[in-house]
Amino acid sequence: AQTVTQSQPEMSVQEAETVTLSCTYDTSENNYYLFWYKQPPSRQMILVIRQEAYKQQNATENRFSVNFQKAAKSFSLKISDSQLGDTAMYFCAFMTPNAGKSTFGDGTTLTVKP
Amino acid sequence: GAGVSQTPSNKVTEKGKYVELRCDPISGHTALYWYRQSLGQGPEFLIYFQGTGAADDSGLPNDRFFAVRPEGSVSTLKIQRTERGDSAVYLCASSPTGPYYNEQFFGPGTRLTVL
């Protein structure tokens, strides 16, 4: 069974600064997908960024980028130029191809301070 | 277009009662997922539908939980003889077919409170 661990329950960052959220996972699979989801206080979860395990290049979406270390089974999220709207809970998730379920970590609550 | 919708947004019930939670996926999405999210935790997988059939129901905690998707669109999660431990936010998500099937679009959830 796959497990996802987010070791930072809470983090804070000053507006315009950079913050990195950690995620590690455990799997015996070689091909899989990794995701970061954002869940604002309004509750609806949205996809931030995703990475296919077979791709060596780290995914980037505007201010969001990942550091994917397959051998170390690590998948951290870097948020550059943090904005107040980035305040939310962030979940790391794992999925194998053609599978239905995603396995989620317990989340990191990020607060961006003005 | 419209996103995933879930009704009701909040449901309060008494221990032992039966409840139904509804999910309307994005039009054309063939995959539908149910998750349960307890306070301070990540979503926990319950069941996955591909079309009308349950492709993976390994996350349903016990036989009090059942879900259907009779026409391959709307899904209903049914909980019998509710217990206080069933209190949580129930999230629904859907995915399209094709190369982006693995991106899940989540609804706002139904907050279930069992008194």
**Are B29 and B105 in contact, with CB atoms under 8 Å apart?**
yes
Residue B106 has its nearest CB partner, among A45, A50, A95, at A45
Mean pLDDT of chain A: 93
SS3 at position B44: strand
Rounded average pLDDT over A20-28 = 96
Q: List the domain boundaries for chain B.
A: 5-109
Asked whether the beta carbons of A80 and A67 are under 8 A apart, the reply is no
> Over the range A4-31, which residues count as b (16 or more CB within 10 Å of their CB) and which as e?
bebeeeeeebeeeeebebbbbbeeeeee
The Cα-based distances of A106 to A41, A54, A85, B26, B41 in angstroms read 16, 25, 21, 26, 5
Residue B75 CB neighbour total at 10 angstroms: 25
Radius of gyration of chain A (CA): 14
What pLDDT is attached to residue B46?
96
**What stretches of A1-114 show up as alpha helix (H) in DSSP?**
none
Q: How many domains does chain A contain in total?
A: 1
> Is A53 at the interface with chain B, CB within 8 A?
no
Return the CATH fold of B5-109. Immunoglobulin-like (2.60.40)
pLDDT of residue B5: 96
Q: What is the pLDDT of residues B76-108, one digit of tens each?
A: 999 999 999 999 999 999 988 754 557 889 999
Segments forming the whole domain that contains residue A23: 3-113
Angle, CA of A15, A42 and B50, to the nearest 5°: 120
Is A42 part of the contact surface with chain B (CB cutoff 8 Å)? yes
pLDDT 10s digits, B33-87: 999 999 889 999 999 998 898 888 999 999 999 999 999 899 999 999 999 999 9
Report pLDDT for B99.
Answer: 47
Q: What is the CATH number of the domain that holds A47?
A: 2.60.40.10
Q: What is the pLDDT of residue A9?
A: 96
Residue B62 forms contact with A (CB below 8 Å): no
pLDDT at B114 over 60: yes
B43–A104 C-beta distance less than 8 A:
yes
| DSSP letter (8 states) at residue A90 | E
Which residues are CB-neighbours of A56 under 8 A, at least 6 positions away?
none
Q: In 3D, which of B20, B49, B46, B19 has the Cα closest to residue B34? A: B46
Residues of A in contact with B36 (CB under 8 A): none
Provide the phi-psi class of B58: left if phi over 0, else alpha when psi is between -120 and 50, else beta.
alpha
CA-wise closest residue to A9 among A109, A92, A105, A78: A109
pLDDT score, position B55: 86
Which residues of chain A from 7 to 36 reach within 8 Å of chain B, CB to CB? 33
Check if B66 contacts A (Cβ < 8 Å). no
